[in-house]
Amino acid sequence: MRFSDEFLSEVRDRNDIVDVISPYVDLRVRGSLATGLCPFHNEKTPSFTVYVNTQSYYCFGCGSGGDAITFIKNIENLDYTEAVTMLAERSGLALPADGYDDGVAKMKRRMYDANREAARFFHSCLFTPDGKTGLDYFLSRGLSMETIRHFGLGYAPDKWDGLLRYMKSKGYSEQELVAADLAKKTQKGYIIDTFRNRAMFPIIDVKGSVIAFGGRVLDDSKPKYVNTSDTLVYKKSQGVFALNFAKRGSDKTLILCEGYMDVIAYHQAGFENAVAGLGTAFTPEQAKLISKYAEEVILSYDNDEAGQNATRKAIGILSRTPLRIRVARLQGGKDPDEIIKKYGKDKMRQLLSSAVGDVEFDLQRAQQGFDLQTSDGKVAYLERAVDILSKIRNPIQWDVYASKLSSQLGVSKEAIVIQIEKKSKQRARKETRDNFSNAATFNDEAMKKVNPERAKNLVAAKAEEILIASLLHNPDFYFKIKDKLSEKDFATELNRRIYNVIARHIEQHRPVEITYFASELSDEEIGYLVRLESMREKLGNTVQECLDCIKRMKDERRERETKNPAGMTDDEWFSQFKKQE
C-alpha cells in the first residue's frame, strides 16, 4: 500500500521516536540526543544514537539507521506496510483503507466531550463551599471574575473521586476517563482522579476544543504543576496555552511567556497576544505552531538566571523558523505578572515596545560580567561582542552594531567593523575545514558498503555528502544551486541518485525528510542519509557552502575526465564511458 505524505506525517507526529525505541533499547537521553546499545548488532559500548530533533536514529557500529518506521520494520521483522500499520495502531490512528475505521474518530470525539465536561465541572466547583480555596487562590493572584470566566479556570476538589463520580453520572466509563488522563489507575488497582486539590487551567486548542489541563498546587508542595500526559487528542510538546485567544490578534506579534499565570496577567491587562508553551522546555513543535499565526515573537520570560537561560534556548529554537525574535527586558520585577501589578499596563507596554532583537540580547548578556569604566573591561567586552557579531552574516547589521559599540566604548567604528570581518572570515574558514575533516572521519566499513565508489573518489564524495546534508536541512537552498550543478558532476552513483530523490521532492513541494523517501531508497541508504543529516551542527548552513561543494565536485570531475584512458583499467574506462553518454 502506498501511504500519502499527510498520513505518514500524522504517523510521524504521533509516534515520538524515543517512545517507540525505548521498549527495545535502554536509552540514555541527553538533550536532543539519546544513546544505547544497538539492538541490531552485538556491542558493549553504545554506538546507537537517536536524534530527537530529526526523529531519526543511526548506529555508528553497524550503519543501520532510519526513522521510527524503519526501526519497527527491522526490529519486528515486518514489511513496510505492516510497520506503518503497527505504528498507526499504536497511536490510535485509523488506516486510510476503504472501510475507514471510525472507531478512533469516535473515541476522539468522546474524549473532547469528556474534557469539555470536566472543564465545566472544575469551573463550577469554584463556586461551591469545597472550592472556595481555589477561588481564593485566583482572587489573591489579582484575577477578576471576568478573567476567571474568560479562561474557564477551575478547581479540582480535594477528593479521590470528585470528578470521577460526576463524570460517571454523565455516562463516561472509567476506561474512557483513564484514556483521557482525567483519572488514573493506582498501583493497587484503584481508579482515582488525576487532579486533586489543584487550581485548574484548561488547555484549549486553536479550534476551541478543551484538550488537556494544567493543575497547580495551592501551597508550596511538590510537584507545583501536574499536566495531562499525552492522549489521543493532546501532545504535550505541541500545546501552546492561550493560542486560541492570541491567534485572533491582527498585529502578528505574540508574546511568549513561561507560565499560565503570566499569560493570564497579560490578557487581563489587555495584551491578548500572550501565550505560553506547556511543560518545562519550549519545543520545536511549539515554535512551528506559533509561526503559523505570527510573524514576530517577543520573549517575556522570568527575570532570573533560569529565565534568561530558557530565553537563550528558546531563541535557538525560534531562530530555525521564519519568526522575527525580540526579547523584553523585564526591569523592576521578577516576571510579567509582578511588573503589571506593580507598575501597571502602560509600563508593560513600554517594556514590550523597547524589547530588543536577539543579537542585542546576546550583547547585553555578554556585557554583564565586565566593568566598562575600565579599559580592560572595555577590551574584554569588545572581544566578546565581536565574536557574537561575527556569527551574523549581514554586513548592514555589522554596521549598525559597530556604530552602537563605537559610541558606547569610544572606539572607532571602522576598527570594529574590520575586526568583525576578520573574525567572520576566520569562522567561515574553520567551519569549511571542520566540515571536510568531519566528513573524512566517516570512513568505515558501513560507509564503504553502502557507497562502494566512495573510497576511489574521496574528495568528491565528501563534497557530495556535505551538499546533500545541507539540502536536507535547507531545502530552500536548492533553487539557488540547481542550475549550477549537473548530474555528471557526481562522482558516486549513490549520491547522484539521492540528490535526484531530494530534488524531486523539493520540486513537487513534498516534505524533505527521510520518512517520505522510504519508497525510493533502501533501508541501507536511508541509514546513510540519517548519518549525513547528523552532521547538522557542523554544517555552515549557507548557500555559499553548497556552492563550494559544487566547485569541488566540478574540479574533481575535470580531473577524472582528463585522466589518460591508457592508464585506466577496463572497468574504469567503461564506467567513465558510461558516465559521458
b/e for 540-551, b at 16 or more Cβ within 10 A?
bbbbebbbbbbe
Residue pair 366/381 in contact by the 8 Å Cβ criterion:
yes
Segment near Zn ion (CB under 5 A); pick from 23-31, 39-47, 269-277, 307-315: 39-47
Stretch 519-558 residues interacting with Zn ion (CB under 5 A):
none
CB 37, min distance to Zn ion, A: 9
CB 47, min distance to Zn ion, A: 6
Does position 38 bind Zn ion by CB under 5 A?
yes
Segment near Zn ion (CB under 5 A); pick from 38-46, 113-121, 175-183, 495-503: 38-46
Segment near Zn ion (CB under 5 A); pick from 53-61, 154-162, 311-319, 328-336: 53-61
CB 39, min distance to Zn ion, A: 8
CB 38, min distance to Zn ion, A: 3
List 28, 41, 334, 429, residue binding Zn ion (CB under 5 A) = 41
Q: Which is nearer to Zn ion, 44 or 207 (CB)?
A: 44
Segment near Zn ion (CB under 5 A); pick from 14-22, 58-66, 102-110, 505-513: 58-66
The residues near 557 (Cβ < 8 Å, ≥ 6 apart) are 460, 488, 489, 491
Q: Which is nearer to Zn ion, 101 or 444 (CB)?
A: 444
Q: Which is nearer to Zn ion, 38 or 450 (CB)?
A: 38
CB 534, min distance to Zn ion, A: 15
CB 45, min distance to Zn ion, A: 11
Distances (CA, A) of 28 to 25, 60, 118, 257, 531: 9, 16, 37, 30, 19
Residue showing cell 499525552: 230
Residue pair 263/203 in contact by the 8 Å Cβ criterion:
no
Stretch 441-500 residues interacting with Zn ion (CB under 5 A):
none
CB 43, min distance to Zn ion, A: 7
Nearest C-alpha neighbor of 334 from the set 304, 305, 312: 304
Does position 37 bind Zn ion by CB under 5 A?
no
Segment near Zn ion (CB under 5 A); pick from 41-49, 112-120, 190-198, 479-487: 41-49
Q: What's the CA gap between 532 and 429, in Å, rounded? A: 21
CB 46, min distance to Zn ion, A: 10
Q: Which is nearer to Zn ion, 74 or 308 (CB)?
A: 74
Does position 65 bind Zn ion by CB under 5 A?
no
Segment near Zn ion (CB under 5 A); pick from 55-63, 218-226, 382-390, 559-567: 55-63
Query: Other C-beta atoms within 10 Å of 58: how many?
Result: 26
DSSP 444: S
Supply the DSSP string of 529-555, one letter for each residue. HHHHHTTGGG---SHHHHHHHHHHHHH
Query: Other C-beta atoms within 10 Å of 26: how many?
Result: 12
Torsion of CA 254, 257, 262, 268, to 10 degrees: 0
- Grid coordinates representing 38? 544497538
Q: Calculate the CA 156 to chain-centre distance.
A: 32
CB 61, min distance to Zn ion, A: 4
CB 59, min distance to Zn ion, A: 3
CB 76, min distance to Zn ion, A: 16
Supply the DSSP string of 186-237, one letter for each residue. -TTS-EEES--SEEEEEEE-TTS-EEEEEEEESSS-S-SEEE---BTTB-GG
Segment near Zn ion (CB under 5 A); pick from 36-44, 264-272, 540-548, 551-559: 36-44
How many amino acids of this chain bind Zn ion (CB under 5 A)?
A: 6
Segment near Zn ion (CB under 5 A); pick from 12-20, 30-38, 338-346, 455-463: 30-38
List 61, 154, 162, 333, residue binding Zn ion (CB under 5 A) = 61
Residue pair 235/14 in contact by the 8 Å Cβ criterion:
yes
| φ, ψ (nearest 5 deg) of residue 12 | -60, -50
| Contact map string, positions 66 to 105, toward Zn ion, x by CB under 5 A | ----------------------------------------
CB 64, min distance to Zn ion, A: 5
Residue showing cell 536536507: 472
List 8, 21, 50, 62, residue binding Zn ion (CB under 5 A) = 62
Q: Which residues pair with 226 in a beta bridge?
A: 215
Q: Sort strands 33-36 and 28-30 into parallel, antiparallel or unpaired.
A: antiparallel
CB 41, min distance to Zn ion, A: 4
- Grid coordinates representing 213? 489541563
Residue pair 177/223 in contact by the 8 Å Cβ criterion:
no
Q: What's the CA gap between 347 and 330, in Å, rounded? A: 10
Segment near Zn ion (CB under 5 A); pick from 52-60, 81-89, 194-202, 438-446: 52-60
Q: Which is nearer to Zn ion, 446 or 491 (CB)?
A: 446
Does position 40 bind Zn ion by CB under 5 A?
yes
CB 530, min distance to Zn ion, A: 13
Supply the DSSP string of 360-372, one letter for each residue. HHHHHHHHTT--T
Q: Which is nearer to Zn ion, 59 or 351 (CB)?
A: 59
Q: Which is nearer to Zn ion, 64 or 300 (CB)?
A: 64
Q: Which is nearer to Zn ion, 61 or 214 (CB)?
A: 61
Q: What's the CA gap between 304 and 290, in Å, rounded? A: 25
Distances (CA, A) of 239 to 13, 244, 288: 13, 11, 11
Q: Which is nearer to Zn ion, 67 or 258 (CB)?
A: 67
Residue pair 282/313 in contact by the 8 Å Cβ criterion:
yes
CB 440, min distance to Zn ion, A: 22
List 59, 68, 290, 420, residue binding Zn ion (CB under 5 A) = 59
Q: Which is nearer to Zn ion, 74 or 408 (CB)?
A: 74
Stretch 150-189 residues interacting with Zn ion (CB under 5 A):
none
Segment near Zn ion (CB under 5 A); pick from 35-43, 135-143, 345-353, 418-426: 35-43
Q: Is the dihedral of CA 22, 26, 29, 34 positive or negative?
A: negative
Binding site for Zn ion (CB under 5 A): 38, 40-41, 59, 61-62
